[in-house]
């Protein structure tokens, strides 16, 4: 089978299993919101979709850190690597997010809900809304705010965490800090607004930082395991299967639910094992071309799907009611097929018209910076061999 050709990732840095997991995470979030936003009921044996598939966002966080370690780690000894890193990250995320921000602001004006305050708009333009409760404007964009804050601090972690041991220490500390901060934010926020529909502690950066560290740790563990090549093939699939199987097939997660959300931490452990498995030994199913296709468009799928579900919600509900007398709860599959298809059509448009041009613009800027650096170096070299006569005499 011909290898998948990525528009976003250079071939030497492409990890098919990780790319496929991005696609699975994006589709999981779409199905989760189809249940909660679209109001479509699942068959009883698939109740885990509405209960657990939202944790696909945390899989995104783990994959993001793992991928950055893989792509940026080897470049830290190259000149200008830091500026290249920030330019790539900005043009990878900002164009589509700004488009969706403008769209949601326009929707607010059309609906008559009024314009957002300037401070809120500023927080979204600067990607700092992950620190301020309920300041996000883009529906579902809370994870982008969390992600961009991680991007800002990642170079520090990259320079400091250079071994498995240091990554393990950071992982333990980050889990303890994350759970403590999440519990404190939960108690504080619910005390201020007991009737709050959404618990902001779930959406803040401090409550999610340990998942990025999980991705960093998995990468460092992978480097360590090169001395024992058979080890990852055993423990990663086993850990992922046992942990995720227990969470999906039982009420273990709800039993661990509290203000610190240890259930999500356990999910992070299972998803980290899945990331390790697919990063080191990708399976044919997850790294298949369809999932890689979805992974390539996962960012568009994620940001576009709330708009699409909101628009098609009424029609999908009618379709469910029309199918239900004949096939009952299995109507979910029909509705999911229609909804996901509509999301993919719109995501394809934003991917081609916004994401790819934005990435190419970033690459063009990097090429111009490299050209300018070469030009400057050549100019300095030329000056070295054309020293003014009076300078040579004095020397």
What are the DSSP calls for 259-306, one per residue? TT-HHHHHHHHHHHHHHHHHHHS--TTTTSHHHHHHHHTHHHHHHHHH
**Secondary structure of residue 198 in the 3-state scheme:** coil
Residue 40 lies in a domain: yes
Give the residue-averaged pLDDT of 326-331. 94
Q: In whole angstroms, give the CA distance from residue 334 to residue 330.
A: 8
Phi, psi values for residue 218, rounded to 5°: -60, -40
DSSP 295-363: HHTHHHHHHHHHHHHHHHHHHHHHHHHHHHHHHGGGHHHHHHHHHHHHHHHHHHHHIIIIIHHHHHHHH
Percent of the chain with pLDDT over 70: 91
Residue 263 lies in a domain: yes
What is the distance of C-alpha 335 from the center of its chain?
26
Give the residue-averaged pLDDT of 84-96. 96
Percent of the chain with pLDDT over 90: 69
Of 290 and 385, which is predicted with more confidence?
290
pTM: 0.92
Q: How confident is the model at residue 347 (pLDDT cuts 50, 70, 90)?
A: very high
Per-residue model confidence (pLDDT) at position 382: 66
The residue segments making up the domain with residue 248 are: 12-362
Selection from 292, 130, 310 nearest residue 206 by Cα: 130
Angle at 137 between CA 209 and CA 268, to 5 degrees: 25
Q: In whole angstroms, give the CA distance from residue 279 to residue 11.
A: 15
Q: In whole angstroms, give the CA distance from residue 332 to residue 368.
A: 51
Averaged pLDDT of the chain? 89
Q: 278 and 233 in contact (C-beta within 8 Å)?
A: no
Per-residue model confidence (pLDDT) at position 394: 45
Residues 20-47 have pLDDT tens digits of: 999 999 999 999 999 998 889 999 999 9
Q: Is the pLDDT of residue 221 over 60?
A: yes
Q: Is the pLDDT of residue 207 over 80?
A: yes
Per-residue model confidence (pLDDT) at position 389: 47
Q: Is the pLDDT of residue 232 over 60?
A: no
Q: What's the total number of domains in the chain? A: 1
Residue 340 lies in a domain: yes
Per-residue model confidence (pLDDT) at position 386: 57
**What's the half-sphere exposure (Cβ side, CA atoms, 13 Å) at 243?**
18
Residues 353-372 have pLDDT tens digits of: 999 999 999 999 999 888 78
Q: How confident is the model at residue 194 (pLDDT cuts 50, 70, 90)?
A: confident
């Amino acid at each position: 089978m011909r290898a998948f050709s990525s528009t976003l990732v250079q071939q030497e840095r492409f990890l098919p299993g990780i790319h496929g997991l991005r696609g699975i995470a994006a589709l999981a979030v779409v199905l989760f919101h189809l249940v909660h936003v679209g109001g479509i009921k699942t068959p009883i044996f698939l109740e885990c979709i509405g209960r657990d598939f939202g944790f696909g966002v945390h899989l995104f966080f783990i994959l993001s850190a793992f991928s950055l370690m893989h792509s940026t780690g080897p470049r830290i000894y190259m000149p200008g690597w830091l500026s290249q890193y920030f330019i790539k990250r900005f043009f990878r995320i900002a164009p589509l997010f700004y488009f969706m921000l403008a769209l949601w602001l326009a929707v607010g004006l059309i609906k008559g809900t009024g314009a957002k305050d300037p401070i809120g708009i500023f927080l979204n333009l600067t990607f700092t809304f992950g620190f301020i409760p309920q300041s996000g404007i883009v529906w579902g964009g809370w994870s982008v705010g969390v992600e961009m804050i991680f991007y800002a601090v990642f170079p520090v972690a990259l320079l400091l965490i250079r071994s498995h041991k240091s990554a393990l220490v950071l992982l333990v500390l980050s889990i303890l800090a994350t759970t403590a901060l999440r519990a404190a934010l939960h108690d504080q926020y619910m005390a201020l607004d007991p009737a709050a529909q959404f618990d902001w502690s779930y959406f803040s950066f401090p409550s999610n930082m340990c998942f990025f560290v999980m991705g960093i740790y998995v990468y460092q563990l992978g480097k360590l395991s090169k001395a024992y090549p058979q080890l990852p093939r055993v423990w990663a699939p086993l850990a992922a299967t046992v942990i995720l199987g227990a969470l999906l097939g039982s009420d273990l997660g709800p039993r661990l639910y509290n203000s610190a959300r240890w259930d999500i931490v356990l999910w992070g452990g299972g998803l980290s094992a899945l990331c390790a498995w697919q990063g080191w030994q990708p399976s044919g199913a997850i790294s298949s071309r369809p999932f890689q296709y979805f992974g390539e468009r996962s960012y568009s799928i994620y940001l576009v799907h709330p708009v699409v579900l909101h628009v098609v919600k009424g029609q999908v509900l009618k379709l469910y009611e029309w199918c239900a007398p004949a096939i009952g709860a299995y109507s979910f599959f029909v509705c999911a097929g229609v909804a996901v298809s509509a999301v993919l059509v719109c995501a394809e448009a934003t991917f081609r018209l916004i994401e790819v041009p934005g990435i190419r613009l970033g690459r063009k800027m990097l090429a111009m910076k490299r050209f300018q650096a070469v030009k400057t170096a050549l100019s300095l070299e030329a000056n070295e061999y054309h020293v003014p006569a009076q300078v040579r005499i004095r020397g």
